[in-house]
């Protein structure tokens, strides 16, 4: 669903207005100073449309040094949502703080709706017009307390929200989670699919009843249905001749495009090949979650396995974050461990770290290990926000250039401290001013 952030300086009535929008009975949310409220997003419905409301009131008391930094609050809102509602106290008029925030919002590409709150009676209505000076278009008079004008405000807001959700909204999960089964020819993809399908209580054709080839296979594992995408060739065990590598990589590409998580099969009875690495590179570039299955474990004796595991450790350092499972598609050994690994990877891939928690963590990390001085200047890391999930993507705001080594350090600690097992994590740095 599209996402809307409600921003404004403290005490303008953001939380009360959020309650109006989401139709909750309690008039006021209890604000506890110094305590970060993690739950700041709410699902709402108006005029038959669903959308998500983010109450930035929950952002205020977090991360040291950011308190009351309304420009930062607005900037964060713009980064993570589809539209922004700025709330102003009409009984006070536009303050310098309001103007600073409006300035940031005017620069954004996102639609902004201006709510003139606390218009509790006719006397204040006249003051509303003065808010045009903020340069955010028509101010919409509303009384979060009495509900007056809130219908009109919601109509205006829905008109501003995009019809289709953006990348920030995360999308919904409709139907089974989508898995791509990847690996070089003869690594055991068909065997594994057949094994999983054979073990499952019911195998359903994704497009049952049609005469064309079903492309996907629905496989039930432990009561949960998974959609293995682009499996037509696999189920028919079409064997690829040499020189078919181009088509194999094309297949990998299309499968990845429709999948959320990939299982990359590797033949553990042989050394890792360049072709294996190419498949892994494609998964990394696609930003999908990843589980590595080391197949044909039945061909490897215990002694050999130790050596080959050490080699794999070295060859697969760039995907250290992915789970590796020794399986045998032939005997069915350990194939039951695949579903839990897929679940873990997807859970990491979907995850959103609440902004308050993220910045609390960041402040501590930076205090312990500050960014290295560069050209006589110490760059400061102002705050971080998770701009997207699937895969988790973070934006760091800084006052200067961060060295690659330090960026990697933050990335690694993010991954470790928040346990993003099985998912790539992206970190972008934005220098302000």
Q: Which residues bind ligand GDP (CB under 6 A)?
A: 183, 185-191, 234, 237, 295-296, 298-299, 328-330
Q: With respect to ligand GDP, which residue has the nearer C-beta, 275 or 399?
A: 275
Distance in angstroms (rounded) separating the CA atoms of residues 324 and 326: 7
Q: What is the DSSP letter of 377?
A: B
Selection from 119, 155, 112 nearest residue 136 by Cα: 112
CB of 347: closest distance to ligand GDP in angstroms?
27
Q: Is 4 annotated as a binding residue?
A: no
Q: Is 137 annotated as a binding residue?
A: no
The answer to whether 187 touches 265, Cβ cutoff 8 Å, is yes
- Residues in a beta bridge with 7: 86
Q: Is 19 annotated as a binding residue?
A: no
Is residue 306 exposed (0-12), middle (13-18) or buried (19+ Cβ within 10 Å)?
exposed
Q: With respect to ligand GDP, which residue has the nearer C-beta, 260 or 276?
A: 276
The answer to whether 318 touches 284, Cβ cutoff 8 Å, is yes
Q: With respect to ligand GDP, which residue has the nearer C-beta, 22 or 203?
A: 203
Q: With respect to ligand GDP, which residue has the nearer C-beta, 21 or 196?
A: 196
CB of 270: closest distance to ligand GDP in angstroms?
11
Q: With respect to ligand GDP, which residue has the nearer C-beta, 108 or 194?
A: 194
CB of 380: closest distance to ligand GDP in angstroms?
51
At residue 204, the 3 state secondary structure works out as: strand
Q: What is the DSSP letter of 419?
A: T
CB of 201: closest distance to ligand GDP in angstroms?
22
CA of residue 128 relative to chain centroid, distance: 38
Q: With respect to ligand GDP, which residue has the nearer C-beta, 299 or 373?
A: 299
Q: Is 186 annotated as a binding residue?
A: yes
Q: Is 120 annotated as a binding residue?
A: yes
Q: Is 59 annotated as a binding residue?
A: yes
Q: Is 155 annotated as a binding residue?
A: no
Report the side by side order of strands in the sheet with 393-398.
381-388, 393-398, 426-431
| Angle, helix 150-160 to helix 14-22, in steps of 10 degrees | 80
Selection from 253, 333, 263, 259 nearest residue 291 by Cα: 263
CB of 265: closest distance to ligand GDP in angstroms?
7
The tokens for 326 are 């020794």
Q: With respect to ligand GDP, which residue has the nearer C-beta, 299 or 431?
A: 299
Q: Is 172 annotated as a binding residue?
A: no
Q: Is 135 annotated as a binding residue?
A: no
In 259-318, which ranges are E strands? 261-267, 289-295
Q: Which residue has the tokens 């449309």?
A: 49
The answer to whether 229 touches 255, Cβ cutoff 8 Å, is yes
CB of 35: closest distance to ligand GDP in angstroms?
53
CB of 421: closest distance to ligand GDP in angstroms?
24
Q: Is 173 annotated as a binding residue?
A: no
CB of 174: closest distance to ligand GDP in angstroms?
28
The tokens for 286 are 């696609």
CB of 183: closest distance to ligand GDP in angstroms?
6
Q: How many residues does the chain have?
A: 433
Q: With respect to ligand GDP, which residue has the nearer C-beta, 131 or 263?
A: 263
CA distances from 84 to 73, 80, 406, 416 (A): 11, 10, 33, 33
At residue 286, the 3 state secondary structure works out as: helix
Q: Is 210 annotated as a binding residue?
A: no
Q: What is the DSSP letter of 400?
A: S
Selection from 1, 53, 2, 58 nearest residue 23 by Cα: 53
Q: Is 271 annotated as a binding residue?
A: no
Q: With respect to ligand GDP, which residue has the nearer C-beta, 88 or 187?
A: 187
Binding-site positions for GTP read 8-15, 55-59, 117-120, 183-190, 230-234, 295-298
Binding-site positions read 8-15, 55-59, 117-120, 183-190, 230-234, 295-298
């Amino acid at each position: 669903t599209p996402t809307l952030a409600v921003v404004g300086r403290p005490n303008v009535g953001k939380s009360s207005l959020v309650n109006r929008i989401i139709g909750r009975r309690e008039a006021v949310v209890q604000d506890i100073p110094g305590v970060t409220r993690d739950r700041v997003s709410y699902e709402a419905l108006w005029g038959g449309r669903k959308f998500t409301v983010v109450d930035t009131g929950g952002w205020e008391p977090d991360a040291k040094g950011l308190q009351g930094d309304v420009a930062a609050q607005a900037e964060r809102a713009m980064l993570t949502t589809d539209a922004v509602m700025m709330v102003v106290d009409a009984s006070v008029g536009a303050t310098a703080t309001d103007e600073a925030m409006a300035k940031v919002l005017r620069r954004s590409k996102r639609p902004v709706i201006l709510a003139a709150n606390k218009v509790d009676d006719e006397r204040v209505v006249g003051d509303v017009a003065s808010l045009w000076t903020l340069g955010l278009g028509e101010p919409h008079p509303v009384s979060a307390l009495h509900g007056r004008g809130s219908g009109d405000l919601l109509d205006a807001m829905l008109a501003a929200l995009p019809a289709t959700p953006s990348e920030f909204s995360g999308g919904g999960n409709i139907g089974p989670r989508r898995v791509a089964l990847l690996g070089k020819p003869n690594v055991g993809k068909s065997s594994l699919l057949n094994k999983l399908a054979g073990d499952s209580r019911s195998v359903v054709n994704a497009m049952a009843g049609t005469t064309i080839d079903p492309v996907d296979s629905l496989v039930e594992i432990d009561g949960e249905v998974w959609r293995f995408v682009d499996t037509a060739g696999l189920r028919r065990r079409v064997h690829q001749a040499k020189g078919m590598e181009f088509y194999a990589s094309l297949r990998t590409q299309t499968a990845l495009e429709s999948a959320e998580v990939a299982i990359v099969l590797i033949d553990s009875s042989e050394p890792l090949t360049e072709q294996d690495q190419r498949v892994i590179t494609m998964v990394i570039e696609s930003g999908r979650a990843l589980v590595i299955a080391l197949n044909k474990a039945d061909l490897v004796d215990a002694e050999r396995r130790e050596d080959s595991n050490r080699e794999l450790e070295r060859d697969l350092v760039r995907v250290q974050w992915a789970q590796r499972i020794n399986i045998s598609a032939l005997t069915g050994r350990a194939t039951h461990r695949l579903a839990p690994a897929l679940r873990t990877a997807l859970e990491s891939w979907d995850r959103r770290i609440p902004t308050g928690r993220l910045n609390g963590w960041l402040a501590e990390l930076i205090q312990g290990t500050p960014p290295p001085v560069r050209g006589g200047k110490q760059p400061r890391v102002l705050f971080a926000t998770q701009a997207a999930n699937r895969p988790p993507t973070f934006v760091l705001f800084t006052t200067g250039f961060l060295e690659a080594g330090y960026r990697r350090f933050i990335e690694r600690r993010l991954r470790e401290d928040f346990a993003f097992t099985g998912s790539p994590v992206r970190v972008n740095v934005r220098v302000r001013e």
